Amino acid sequence: MNWWHRVWQRWRMEDELDAELRFHFDHLVSDYLALGVSKEEARRRASAEFGGIEELRDACRDARGTRWVHDFAQDVRFSARLLSKERAFTLVAVLTLSLGIGVNNTLFSIVNALCLHGLPIEKPDRVVDIAARDERGRARPLSRREFDDLQGGQSHALEGVAAYVNRPATLRDQAVPAERINLSYISANALSLIRQQPFLGRDFRSDGDRPGRAAVVLLGGTLWRTRYSADPGIVGKFVTIDGRPTTVVGVMPEDFKFPDNADAWQPLSALDTPKDARILRSFARLAHEGTLAQAQDNITSILQRQSQSSTRTIPGGAIVMSINERYMSRITDPAWLAFITAGLLLVLIACSNVANLLLARGVRRGHEIAIRLSLGATRSRIVRQLLVESAMLAAVGGVVALAISIAGLKLFAAAIPEGGLPYWVRLTIDARVIVVLVIVCMGTVLLSGVAPALQLARTNLNLTMKEAANNVSTSRGARRWTWVFLTLQLALTVIMLSGLGITVQSFYLLQHRGPQIDAKHILTFGITLPSETYRASEQRLAFYRSLRERVTGVGQAVAVSVANALPASGGQPREVIPNDRDRSASVPVRVILIDDAYFTALGLPLLAGRSFTPAEGASGRMSIIVNQRFAEMFLPRAEAVGQRVRLRAAPGSPNPADEIGTVVGVAPSLRRQPTLEPDPLMYLPLPPSAMSTVVVLVRAKDEPSSLASSVREAARQIDPNVPLYRVMTLEDANWEARWNARVSAGIISTLAFIALALATVGLAALTAHAVAQRSRELGIRLALGAERKEVVLLVLRRVLVQVAVGLIFGAIGAKAWERIFGGAGLTTAANLATVSLLVVFVTVGVSAWPAARAARIDPLLMLRDQ
């Protein structure tokens, strides 16, 4: 019989043991009978020789190694009975644990979805992302020429190489107005390499990668459902994409939006671009026995061979990495580490709280434990039983925590605007999350249960038995532990609150300090010009010009501006070289391309200098408008206008030399996101390279919502193929652009408030407990003439000392956090002072209640009771 059988078939074991012993016994009896004694005498002698049968059975059970299982079952039953009897304690402990574990589990589920889960591709670890490496080791897209070489390069380590380019496009057909879609141009083999098949129709494999074929498109499931009401006969029908009649050849499943939330796909061959433009993102699947290292070698050698024959390539070779690594957020980023740490700290706070509850309860149980010890229970058995109690609390807490984290994930998902996250992010509870949940629950048993259990099992038998049952004084050890746990809790609360402090501060600054835009009265929308019909920069500029003219004429519109990014989001980073003498160092600064009316449309007067002129940028000299913050950070002289700014060549620009611009104006520093300091910004004129995707800002006299339809009409009159998208007030656009900050603020305030609540409840409960314990002493003091006020102060003094120590450790902890994870402003005097005041106010305020009860002790009653 193996171990499991022995555990589950205990009755059978017992039967066999009995049979075995009886066999022996009967033999002994017959041995004695053979000596000629009477039957009774034989049985008596056999029994005497056999000894205590129960002891023997027990020894055999011990020897079998299954005993602890049955002991464990007994412990579970006993603990369940105890915990269900002490409802208040159990409720508080379970609630505390489930809040801590639940919030932590929610955070981990988010980390799991963004950093660990990865793309829904078959065997994603066999799919690698390929990029060219530039002189400075950065990843750059491939050119068409390089991609062709890779495809023709016959690398035995790779099953195949695919590429894609994402471009917004305009989709039009007879029925519905034109719509802007995220189109992805993919090489013919791309879908088969990631093992994805269309849900209807066929993929591009038969089209090949040669240009000049008839235009075809694969529709995404969502587009098919919303725009074509899931028409099953869609395959073979014609739609117009960027003005070209295109045949629908298939429909992809609805949850497939590879690579970046694509709505539809066209073959790469449909994209007509220069051979040397670095626009292709590339990936490959490793061949059956190929390794990443081989792929890296192969691809590097192919790219380098080619770079000798062409001057337009970069010599650094290739960067090949797992596609998940390229797409997923890096869990080792300080921001994610901080995220995870914050969750674990909350678990730690919950554990400290439960540990303190257990310690306080232990004092009440000292008598029970002493009795059990004196009846012969071993200390290890007592510790085991106490740990089983903790484990049961953690188990129930874990189940509630699971419910909390499901709700938390729902809340998180609801706070994210559509398209805010990559399509492959699944905010669900998967096996990994469950495993981590179980591990965290086990961790809480260790953290919250071990110290109280050991403390309680050390109960001094003699002392405890002598004292009255409900007046057992806390041992010094228990008090020390309580003190440590409370300090820890308060300190961690201070760290979280100081995080909340900067968040509140930065949101306040965003809304009430610095220049403000009247965002309610500005309408914004996006435009993407079809690349087929608007090839040249002049064509695009002409469209924007006529759009501005027409819209300005419409009803309420006061000013119209075209730019490449909204005030709160977007803009390309450019490298600014702040020091002319050391040109190796550079700082990334966001650049927004704007026209001459931008600041008028925002209603934001410049602080110095002038706006761009309508002809700005055409001359070849680069004019720059910087914001005040930029001037403070990078411009040495007080007078910003007229100073020069050196920029590194834009990535992908044909001319690698630095560019030098002259500051012509200084704009006020708008905060884009809730931050303590506004970001430095540069504005460059739109014209020289007017892009095909822009945003338009229309300033209205009042309510801009009535403007929307007339603006649409104006655009339709210029070109019906150009749809407007994301039409909304600037206020709404800002709200969407700041979702990330808002969600972070939601998370940090949840953490901070739970931490504060737990610490407060913990402190108050312990104060109440201390008052109950000291009631006799306090009663005597009152009887001897102490004033009630003095008694209250006596109790509160301890609370104050405890809080003060917690605050000191909290400040040290916040400093450490700032060191490790960053987070400027965390430990400014003002922030820490505010947090400390809040903590003192709340904790002392709540603890005053049990303290006041101490003053109401009736000395006569108290002394008579004893």
Partner 1 sequence: MASPKSDLPQGTLDMLILQVVALEPIHGYAIAQRIRQISRDVVQVPQGSLYPALHRLENRKVLVAEWKQSETGRDAKYYRLTPRGRAYLKSEAESWERLSGAIRLILREARGTSR
Contacting positions for partner 1 (CB under 8 A): 16-17, 19-21, 23-24, 26-28, 49-52, 55-56, 59-60, 62-65
Q: How is residue 362 written in tokens?
A: 């232990």
CB 796 within 8 A of CB 844: yes
3-state secondary structure of 517: coil
Task: Supply the DSSP symbol for 656.
Answer: -
| Residue among 661, 657, 592, 658 nearest 624 (CA) | 661
Q: How is residue 769 written in tokens?
A: 């407990």
Distance of CA 359 to CAs 49, 136, 353, 556, 826, Å?
Answer: 50, 59, 10, 70, 33
Helix (H) and strand (E) counts in the chain:
27, 23
Of 42 and 854, nearer to partner 1 (C-beta) is 42
Of 47 and 374, nearer to partner 1 (C-beta) is 47
Of 17 and 436, nearer to partner 1 (C-beta) is 17
CB 248 within 8 A of CB 239: yes
CB of 320 to partner 1, least distance (A): 51
CB of 38 to partner 1, least distance (A): 21
The Cα 97–Cα 88 span in angstroms is 14
Q: How is residue 376 written in tokens?
A: 């012969």
3-state secondary structure of 159: strand
DSSP H helical ranges for 587-651: 598-602, 628-634
Q: Which amino acid is at 202?
A: R
CB of 45 to partner 1, least distance (A): 13
Of 41 and 62, nearer to partner 1 (C-beta) is 62
CB of 490 to partner 1, least distance (A): 51
CB 142 within 8 A of CB 443: no
Of 53 and 793, nearer to partner 1 (C-beta) is 53
CB of 381 to partner 1, least distance (A): 20
Cβ–Cβ contacts within 10 Å for residue 392, how many?
A: 19
The Cα 716–Cα 712 span in angstroms is 6
Q: HEC string of 462-479?
A: HHHHHCCCCCCCCCHHHH
Buried b (16+ CB within 10 A) or exposed e, 240-254: bbbbbebebbbbbee
Of 46 and 667, nearer to partner 1 (C-beta) is 46
The Cα 842–Cα 848 span in angstroms is 10
The Cα 189–Cα 47 span in angstroms is 86
DSSP strands (E only) in 628-685? 644-647, 659-667, 681-685
Which H or E run includes 748? helix 739-773
Of 54 and 702, nearer to partner 1 (C-beta) is 54
Q: Which residues partner with 130 through β-bridges?
A: 282, 320
CB 495 within 8 A of CB 819: no
Task: Supply the DSSP symbol for 564.
Answer: S
- For the stretch 718-722, contacts whose Cβ atoms lie closer than 8 Å and that sit 24 or more positions apart, written own/partner, are 718/543, 718/546, 718/547, 718/550, 719/533, 719/543, 720/172, 720/178, 721/170, 721/172, 721/178, 721/240, 721/242, 721/243, 721/530, 721/533, 722/170, 722/178, 722/527, 722/528, 722/529, 722/530, 722/543
CB of 16 to partner 1, least distance (A): 7
DSSP H helical ranges for 423-536: 431-444, 450-457, 461-466, 476-512
Of 31 and 333, nearer to partner 1 (C-beta) is 31
CB of 291 to partner 1, least distance (A): 43
- Work out the angle at residue 540's Cα, subtended by the Cα atoms of residues 536 and 542, and round it to the nearest 5 degrees: 115
Of 48 and 375, nearer to partner 1 (C-beta) is 48
Residue 107: CA atoms inside 13 Å, Cβ hemisphere, count? 27
CB 674 within 8 A of CB 510: yes
Of 24 and 520, nearer to partner 1 (C-beta) is 24
Of 57 and 381, nearer to partner 1 (C-beta) is 57
Of 6 and 312, nearer to partner 1 (C-beta) is 6
CB of 18 to partner 1, least distance (A): 11
Of 63 and 468, nearer to partner 1 (C-beta) is 63
Of 52 and 212, nearer to partner 1 (C-beta) is 52
CB of 10 to partner 1, least distance (A): 14
Radius of gyration of the chain (CA): 37
3-state secondary structure of 354: helix
- Work out the angle at residue 738's Cα, subtended by the Cα atoms of residues 736 and 740, and round it to the nearest 5 degrees: 105
CB of 378 to partner 1, least distance (A): 19
Distance of alpha carbon 114 from the chain centroid = 7
CB of 64 to partner 1, least distance (A): 5
CB of 5 to partner 1, least distance (A): 12
The Cα 142–Cα 136 span in angstroms is 16
The Cα 283–Cα 220 span in angstroms is 21
Of 6 and 458, nearer to partner 1 (C-beta) is 6
CB of 28 to partner 1, least distance (A): 8
CB of 17 to partner 1, least distance (A): 8
CB of 49 to partner 1, least distance (A): 8
Of 52 and 620, nearer to partner 1 (C-beta) is 52
Of 27 and 644, nearer to partner 1 (C-beta) is 27
CB of 37 to partner 1, least distance (A): 19
CB of 8 to partner 1, least distance (A): 16
3-state secondary structure of 384: helix
CB 452 within 8 A of CB 357: no
CB of 26 to partner 1, least distance (A): 8
Of 16 and 255, nearer to partner 1 (C-beta) is 16
